[in-house]
Chain A
Amino acid sequence: MIDSMEAMRIISRCRGEAIVVACMTAKDEWHHVSTQRQLDFLYIGAMGKASSVGLGLALAKPQRKVILIDADGSLLMNLGSLVTIANMAPGNLIHFVMENSVYRNTGGQPIPNAGKLSFSGLAKEAGYRQVYDFEESGSLDEKIDRIMRQTGPTFVCVKSPSLSECSPYTSPRLDAKIVREFRATLYNLR
């Protein structure tokens, strides 16, 4: 199992100039390690839809990497998005899923079929260009550079410990003003 904060640090090290969309517990942990917060979209809004927002951004900004840090319970709410993403096949999208097998924010209740389903298997059969599973931080650390360079869509499942307590980290709550500021930041990247 990979400590989720350790995973965030590994991803951050190779992030480059990528836009990052993160949700649920991951958005708070990501915010803590991020060195380019102006390019972070810390998603809340409609449950489970971070993957779809990431797809939209990847299609809109094909010249820039988009890193999506999703959650297992969140992806289960929007499984069709795997097929939608594979169909549009954005080469610049890297879709991480933090698989901790629980709804951490609500006290650690197990997700449906916890531990028996394969998220990378779902992504592979949906049509992602390549998929990965990582259970050890050393393996993730070793392969992350190559993953970031590959043409996507790429799916990376990071298996992390099941925890029942909320993250000690926090991040700014998304609102209409922050959304507009983020859009303006992306506009100025052109």
Chain B
Amino acid sequence: MVGVTQSVMAHKILEELNKCGITHVVWLPHSENKAMYETVLRESSMTLVPVCREGEAIPIALGLWLGGKNPVIMHQNTGFYDAGDSVRGLALDYQLPLLMLIGARGWRKSPPPTDSAAIFQEPVLDAWGIKHYLVTDEKDVQKISQAYHETQATSRPVAVLIAEEQMQ
């Protein structure tokens, strides 16, 4: 069952993705994006590409982009760690202008997170030189478009961290 707040957020996120002209959502479901599945399927013309493991997402997105499409990837921070070789060897080395929506499992403003998935997330992104934004509620969702435009302007991946606390 998807809560009302998550559903509203999913619609807001979808609006942003539509503004960016996203054609494909390459994704693995997780707690922070579960409402997106039905929303994308029912209310958009975007093609959903489900993957078995997050490391597949960036190479699929690379293939789509090479073929002229405009993909976004969407999975949890835990999977971002799994996808490290693809982040390094494809998104960064090949200067892929890729918007990455990453579920921020364990994030909280205060007290500091105790979940290592959240603790290491921003330091790892910083270490790789990947710019990132945090979305914690509806007013932040516009950062998705901002991040997308930065991917295009810089030819680099940009991450948007979708925080769990505010989604439930």
Contacts and interface: CB of A to CB of B under 8 A. Distances in A.
Interface of A: 21, 41, 44-47, 49-50, 52-61, 78, 80-81, 83-84, 87-88, 174-176, 179-180, 182-183, 186-187, 190
Contacts of A49: 55-56, 58-59, 85-86, 90
Interface in B51-65: 51-53, 55-56, 58-65
Given A59-B67, A60-B64, A186-B66, A87 B56 contact: no
Interface residues of B, number: 30
Contacts of B56: 49, 52, 78, 80-81, 84
A45 B92 CA distance: 10
A131 to B, nearest CB: 19
B40 to A, nearest CB: 15
A78 B61 CA distance: 15
A27 to B, nearest CB: 15
A60 B67 CA distance: 5
B63 A45 contact: no
B94 interface: yes
A46 B55 contact: yes
Contacts of B50: 84, 87
Given A52-B59, A56-B66, A45 B24 contact: no
Contact of B60 (A21, A56, A179, A190): A56
Given A49-B86, A52-B51, 16 more contacts: A45-B94, A46-B58, A46-B59, A46-B88, A47-B85, A49-B55, A52-B59, A52-B63, A53-B60, A56-B60, A57-B64, A60-B63, A80-B51, A84-B52, A179-B66, A187-B68
B68 A59 contact: no
A44 to B, nearest CB: 8
Contacts of A50: 59
Contacts of A88: 49
B94 A80 contact: no
Chain A residues touching B, majority SS: helix
B63 A57 contact: yes
A88 B63 CA distance: 14
Nearest to B48: A88
Nearest to B51: A84
B62 to A, nearest CB: 6
A42 to B, nearest CB: 13
B59 to A, nearest CB: 4
A105 B89 CA distance: 19
A60 B69 contact: yes
Nearest to A50: B59
Nearest to B47: A59
B55 A78 contact: yes
Nearest to B63: A56
A59 B90 contact: no
Contacts of A190: 68
B52 A45 contact: no
A59 B69 contact: yes
A177 B14 CA distance: 32
A59 B64 contact: yes
Contact of A183 (B55, B59, B66, B90): B66
